[in-house]
Amino acid sequence: MISKTTRIAIDPVHYEENPVETVPAPEFMFVPGENTRCRAYELSIKEGEHVYLYQKIGVRNGGYFKQNMFAPCSGTYLGLEKHTYRNGKSIDFLKFQNDFKDERDPSYHERSDEEIFALSPEEIIAISEEYSLVGLGGSSFPTSVKLKGTDHVTHLVVNGIECEPTLPVDKLLMENDAEELIKGLRLLKRCLGSEHIYLCIKKKYAGLVAKYQELFLGEEGMEVRPCRDYYPQGWEIGLIKDVTGIKVPSGALPRKQGVLDINVATVVSLYQAAKYSRPVAERYLAIIGDGLEKTANYRVKVGTPIRPLIEKCGYKDDGEVKTLIVGGPMMGGTVPSDDLISTPCLSSVLVYEQGKAEREHPCIHCASCVYSCPTGLVPAEIMNAYKAMDKEKIKALHPERCVECGLCSYSCTSHIRVTDYVRKAKRVAKLL
Ligand code: SF4
Ligand code: SF4
């Protein structure tokens, strides 16, 4: 029997209980040339050149926006080297030798909190643009573009839900970086003028909910919203509706309805950029999964090679081939190598026993994928229309509304990777 629920409860694995280990900066650090939103880049440094920590070293071109690039350490630029990017591609990374001096440009000045909270909204947006801040919940959407809109944001939904099951990083951040998170929220309130700011935390983290309720005493307009633990609770449109009651029509921008959502790590990155004049410099990184001897939560500098950290956890020596996933178990993508580098949007690496990946069987028309889809699509039909390359039908089935949550694949009785087909159909629909 099929449940008509569109919400899948999560089987809890308590990776958040692993202590956080801070990883010292390594001797060699790396910066990707291209990234998922910018395919072209231009460098302003040459091989052998000395760089300061967070020195501007080039610029990426994202079409309608640019992204400055920064040195991850002080030291020497050594040239390009291939490594695996989080989308699984082998791409050019800029390699730096760390001199461990953490030397900043002599003109560097750390802003006091008085200076930060005197910044105008335009100056705050300019800082987010200067330091190439992006949505750290996984979207990597430029923060400055998000903040620049002209419609007044009355409600700001701050996402600490960690949409993907079992991932612990947003919780770790809220536990350890509360002061910077609250200062970041004050900064956003100043920037957007929002009357209501809701920090969304999973209800099951009762201690964390209580902590922020206490910290918010005296913070005008800020409140904690405890949320249930189901997937995809972190989905932007669903979360906005649950928390504010505001229904954002399909395809419309939340800002047009006076609401915006932002991930907790992005909020912290905004405060840090204003305070220290720097890009995203550190991330929590979870290395988890049943293919490892032990799992771990790290605090790691952006630019650090990840392979030694996986090896520290230890692959299970049981003869099974392992599957590596970057991102969460639902929306993450497999990568062919563990030669990964820490980047701002990489916060988890999952290592699974490959035997877990089931073989696909033919569709039995059970409609499980239909009942699971939070956006009301008919994934099986989209898949069939894509396979038949029936463009009219693809268009009529609106694959562009898919948020790539992965639930249709997860719930498919025949273990078909339905999401992959819908994703491909989405690309076809875009070209029509
Ligand atoms: S991946 Fe897309 S089609 Fe599949 S359930 Fe999620 S939103 Fe629906
Ligand atoms: S694609 Fe999978 S879940 Fe959807 S109808 Fe077919 S067998 Fe059922």
Span 369-425, pLDDT tens digits: 999 999 999 999 999 999 999 999 999 999 999 988 889 988 898 889 899 999 999
Beta-strand relationship, 155-159 and 259-263? parallel
The angle at the Cα of 116, spanning 112 to 118, to the nearest 5 degrees, equals: 115
Asked whether residue 3 is assigned to any structural domain, the reply reads no
40 with 15, same domain: the answer is no
Helix (H, G, I), strand (E, B) or coil at 8: strand
Taking each helix axis from N to C terminus, what angle separates 418-431 and 379-387, rounded to the nearest 10 degrees? 60
> In ligand 2, which atom is closest to the CA atom of 361?
7
308 with 404, same domain: the answer is no
How far apart (Å, rounded) are the C-alpha atoms in residues 314 and 22? 18
Asked whether residue 108 is assigned to any structural domain, the reply reads no
198 with 122, same domain: the answer is yes
Task: Count the domains in the chain.
Answer: 4
123 with 203, same domain: the answer is yes
145 with 261, same domain: the answer is yes
CATH code of the domain in which 267 resides: 3.40.50.11540
Proximal ligand: closest to the CA of 421: 1
pLDDT value, residue 231:
82
**Sheet strands (E) in 33-184:** 40-43, 50-51, 56-61, 66-70, 75-84, 90-98, 155-159
336 with 397, same domain: the answer is no
DSSP string covering 283-325: EEEEEESTTBSS-EEEEEETT-BSHHHHHHH-B--SSPPEEEE
How far apart (Å, rounded) are the C-alpha atoms in residues 163 and 140? 15
250 with 181, same domain: the answer is yes
Residue of the CA atom closest to atom 2 of ligand 2: 412
pLDDT value, residue 8:
45
Choose one of 73, 98, 123: the last residue of a domain.
98
Cα 142 vs. chain centroid, distance in angstroms?
12
Residue 6, ligand 1, Cβ within 6 A: no
Q: What are phi and psi of 136, to 5 degrees?
A: -95, 0
Mutate to test the pocket of ligand 2, among 373, 416, 420 (most ligand atoms within 8 A of CB): 416
Proximal ligand: closest to the CA of 426: 1
pLDDT value, residue 230:
81
Proximal ligand: closest to the CA of 375: 1
143 with 250, same domain: the answer is yes
Ligand 1: distance of its center to the CA of 247 in Å?
19
For 81, how many CA atoms within 13 A lie in the half-sphere containing its CB? 18
Which residue in the block uniquely carries the two structure tokens 């900064």? 187
Choose one of 241, 276, 311: the last residue of a domain.
276
Domain that holds residue 53: 25-98
Asked whether residue 105 is assigned to any structural domain, the reply reads no
* Two tokens, residue 413: 């009785």
Beta-strand relationship, 333-335 and 348-353? unpaired
In the chain, which residues have pLDDT < 70?
Answer: 1-13, 354-359
Cα 191 vs. chain centroid, distance in angstroms?
22
pLDDT value, residue 321:
81
203 with 73, same domain: the answer is no
Residue 406, ligand 1, Cβ within 6 A: yes
- CB within 8 Å of 192: residues ≥ 6 apart: 121, 147, 152, 153, 156, 260
Asked whether residue 106 is assigned to any structural domain, the reply reads no
Residue 402, ligand 1, Cβ within 6 A: yes
Residue of the CA atom closest to atom 8 of ligand 2: 366
Residue of the CA atom closest to atom 2 of ligand 1: 402
pTM (2 d.p.): 0.86
How far apart (Å, rounded) are the C-alpha atoms in residues 63 and 179? 36
pLDDT value, residue 190:
96
